[in-house]
Structure 1
Amino acid sequence: MGRFKTAFLKVLNRTLNPLTLRAAHSGRGPFSLVEHVGRRTGRTYEAPVILARVPEGFVTELTYGPDVNWYRNIVAGGGRVLYQGEWFPIVAVEPYAVRAGLRAFGPPASWVLRALRRREFRLLRVE
């Protein structure tokens, strides 16, 4: 990961993430949580994300790419999702087609994702 991207993610973690974590815990607004265990530390972490509900689980768009820790941790060891106040264990992570991902988010989110040329969708399959 580039130095600028790493620095940007650190700033986000210290400023915006605390606000979005509170919103996700409240069950209001667009934010959900992905709870994951660190690959090296064994510590439990929470990452705020925006998810789209689909029959097989949740769709997420990897805005910062597949190298972010929360994503790497759930691929390596699973985790769970807090969505609208309810916890769901993640049982698998799978690529998700761009068209299907945009459709899952629906307007206006899909318009923003399309304008930003977002193409890294993943399915978080849950029980």
Structure 2
Amino acid sequence: MNNKLIRVGTIYIPVKDPVSSAEWYKEKLGAQLNYLDDDKAILNLADISMFLVKAEEQNSNFFDANGTERFVLTYEVDGLEALTSIHADFKERGIKVGEIENRGHAGRNFVFYDLDGNKFDVWSELSQVFKRRFVKEEV
């Protein structure tokens, strides 16, 4: 028996209205809708099942000890060119995005917000483990 966590399977995001939020995720981010009712929407996005759950508080963000607003999820893209491209695409789609940042580590990042103000991060570096397992190098 293998007693270790393998992957993140599902993320739960609080939203005001699952119907309108699901439409936003489909239209703006290309998510695939798998289920929808008045209380939740189940989507596939970036190979993760995402539950948009109707909630009183529609914000998954939090503030760290220094008062900086933080996100709960970072998406990865394959390189700076991909990051720059998706940043421009998000802007064209009317998604609220931050500027591309140098945070003092490898790669670059930017943040974006969904319909309910949930903050997410995008990083220009795919994890090496992911690359070894899933990305086929061009020959």
The structure with more radius of gyration: 2
Relative to its length, the structure with more strand (as a share) is: 1
TM-score, length of structure 2 as denominator length: 0.28
TM-score, with length taken from structure 1: 0.29
Higher relative CO (CA 8 A, sep ≥ 6), structure 1 or 2? 1
